[in-house]
């Protein structure tokens, strides 16, 4: 009787131990209604953190996805948000939308909230490269795949193809180069330049500066006399332009990393009694409606397009990822260029 009891007890104990060692349930984002086929899963949810590839996305009829926006203080961001919301509605996907209001701390908290809400995937427009790279790692550890939209993170902290799926966005270095080449032509290769930089530590600010500053080096009579951040914002751009114009009254050109700061610079020039487009030539990036109108009015010289309408491509990329496709580190959006020759034709479709 005692022998029998010990035999049964041992079998039960061994079975219990085996159950405890078995992999935990598949990540939550792989569960739920509408799922048609599960992809190969990491052994356990906790293993996503150390996986050499981003967490998989199950094939489903519909998804709950997050879109973490940086801020909504300019037309570019508003157009991007509208495009994402419209695409989610068109496809019948649930969109968890957050606006970080220009705060890195808030954006990190937004991502944490999306993780807690167990979204299937996160579309992230990271404010700056380093702090938001850490947030991407948190999503990965929670087995939630991330697709970067329009801005990237620091690859030494979080790498594409390993920690997140890919980044979709413009070639910011090329945008800076295009702005420089246009300015060189417009000024006969001779200019005293003020540069208004975007958000400190953000990939467009880093790369637009790199592209422009490098291209300008070819022209010995083109000199950047001041370069300061205006945080991609119109009012900050106006304030910074005002200060820098006082320090450099002989400036003949302004390169703004986005149209909003260029609009601020136009206001600063007018307040200083200068004529934008004549006394000081301005070139910028984005392609907003205000910028197209300013070109038509002769106040802005040119703008390099940075297309904000990410919705269709972002959602298509998520589906392709669920279908097992692999991607390059960056999916590059093609950009157009607008100056006095085509701004009027572009205006009706501008945002
Ligand atoms: O990341 C893209 C940049 O961010 C756009 O040029 C700017 O307007 C936005 O805020």
DSSP track, 154-223? -TTTS-BTTTBSEEEEE-HHHHHHHHHHHHHHHTTT-EEEEEEE-STT-HHHHHHHHHHHHHHTT-TTEE
- Tens of pLDDT along the chain (351 residues)? 445 544 444 544 444 443 333 333 233 233 223 333 333 344 444 589 999 999 999 999 999 999 999 999 999 999 999 999 999 999 999 999 999 999 999 999 999 999 999 999 999 999 999 999 999 999 999 999 999 999 999 999 999 999 999 999 999 999 999 999 999 999 999 999 999 999 999 999 999 999 999 999 999 999 999 999 999 999 999 999 999 999 999 999 999 999 999 999 999 999 999 999 999 999 999 999 999 999 999 999 999 999 999 999 999 999 999 999 999 999 999 999 999 999 999 999 999
Q: 214 is written with which tokens?
A: 């490098």
Q: Which domain holds residue 325?
A: 52-169+308-333
Same domain, 152 and 201: no
**150 in ligand 1 pocket by Cβ < 6 Å?**
yes
Do 293 and 317 lie in one domain? The reply is no
**59: domain CATH number?**
3.40.50.2300
Residue 11 lies in a domain: no
- Residue 232 C-alpha to ligand 1 middle, in angstroms? 7
In a domain, 29, yes or no: no
234 lines ligand 1 (CB under 6 A): no
Cβ atoms 175, 193 nearer than 8 A: no
Structural domains in the chain (count) = 2
Domain identity same for 113 and 123: yes
Let me know whether 179 and 160 are in one domain. Answer: no
For tokens 């496809």, the residue is 91
56 in any annotated domain: yes
> In this predicted structure, what is the pLDDT of residue 227?
98
CA of 124 to the centre of ligand 1 (A): 14
Strand order in the sheet with 146-149: 94-99, 64-69, 121-124, 146-149, 166-170, 330-333
CB 102 within 8 A of CB 70: yes
Supply 347's token pair: 């205006």
CA–centroid distance, 258 to ligand 1, in Å, is 7
Q: Is 308 in the pocket of ligand 1 (CB under 6 A)?
A: no
156 with 179, same domain? no
Q: What is the pLDDT of residue 4?
A: 53
Is residue 204 in contact with ligand 1, taking CB distance under 6 Å? yes
Residue with CA at minimum distance from ligand 1 atom 3: 204
CA of 215 to the centre of ligand 1 (A): 21
| Residue 30 placed within a domain | no
Six token digits for residue 264: 């601020």
* Mutation test residue for ligand 1: of 179, 198, 256, the one with most atoms within 8 Å of CB: 198
Flag whether 6 is in a domain. no
**188 conformational bin, left if phi > 0, alpha if psi -120 to 50, beta if neither:** left
Query: How many Å is the Cα radius of gyration of the chain?
Result: 25
Is residue 72 exposed (0-12), middle (13-18) or buried (19+ Cβ within 10 Å)? Answer: middle
Reading the block at residue 240, the tokens are 């910074």
Is the domain of 63 the same as that of 183?
Answer: no
Q: Report the alpha-carbon distance of residue 46 to residue 129 in Å, rounded.
A: 25
* 306 Cβ closer than 6 Å to some ligand 1 atom: yes
- What's the pTM value of the predicted model, to 2 decimals? 0.87
**78 and 58 both lie in a single domain:** yes
In a domain, 350, yes or no: no
Is 231 contained in some domain?
Answer: yes
């Amino acid at each position: 009787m005692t022998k029998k009891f010990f035999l049964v007890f041992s079998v039960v104990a061994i079975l219990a131990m085996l159950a405890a060692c078995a992999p935990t349930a598949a990540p939550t984002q792989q569960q739920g209604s509408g799922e048609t086929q599960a992809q190969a899963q990491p052994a356990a949810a906790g293993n996503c953190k150390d996986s050499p590839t981003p967490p998989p996305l199950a094939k489903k009829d519909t998804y709950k996805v997050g879109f973490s926006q940086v801020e909504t203080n300019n037309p570019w961001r508003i157009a991007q948000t509208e495009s994402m919301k419209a695409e989610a509605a068109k496809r019948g996907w649930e969109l968890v939308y957050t606006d970080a209001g220009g705060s890195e701390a808030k954006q990190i908290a937004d991502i944490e909230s999306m993780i807690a809400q167990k979204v299937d995937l996160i579309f992230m427009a990271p404010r700056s490269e380093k702090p938001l790279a850490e947030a991407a790692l948190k999503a990965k550890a929670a087995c939630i795949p991330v697709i970067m939209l329009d801005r990237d993170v620091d690859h030494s902290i979080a790498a594409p193809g390993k920690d997140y799926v890919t980044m979709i966005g413009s070639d910011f270095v090329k945008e800076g180069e295009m702005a420089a080449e246009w300015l060189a032509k417009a000024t006969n290769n001779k200019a005293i330049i003020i540069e208004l930089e975007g958000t400190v530590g953000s990939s467009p600010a880093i790369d637009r500066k790199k592209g422009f500053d490098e291209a300008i080096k070819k022209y010995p009579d083109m000199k950047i006399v001041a370069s300061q951040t205006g945080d991609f914002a119109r009012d900050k751009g106006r304030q910074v332009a005002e200060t820098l114009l006082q320090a450099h009254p002989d400036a003949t050109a302004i390169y703004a990393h986005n149209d909003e700061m260029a609009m601020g610079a136009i206001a600063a020039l007018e307040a200083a009694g200068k004529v934008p487009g004549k006394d000081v030539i301005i070139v910028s990036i984005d392609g907003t409606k205000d910028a197209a109108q300013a070109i038509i009015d002769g106040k802005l010289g040119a703008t390099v397009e940075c297309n904000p309408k990410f919705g269709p491509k972002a959602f298509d990329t998520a589906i392709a990822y669920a279908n097992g496709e692999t991607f390059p580190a960056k999916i590059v959006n093609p950009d157009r260029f607008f100056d006095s020759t085509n701004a009027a034709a572009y205006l009706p479709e501008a945002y």
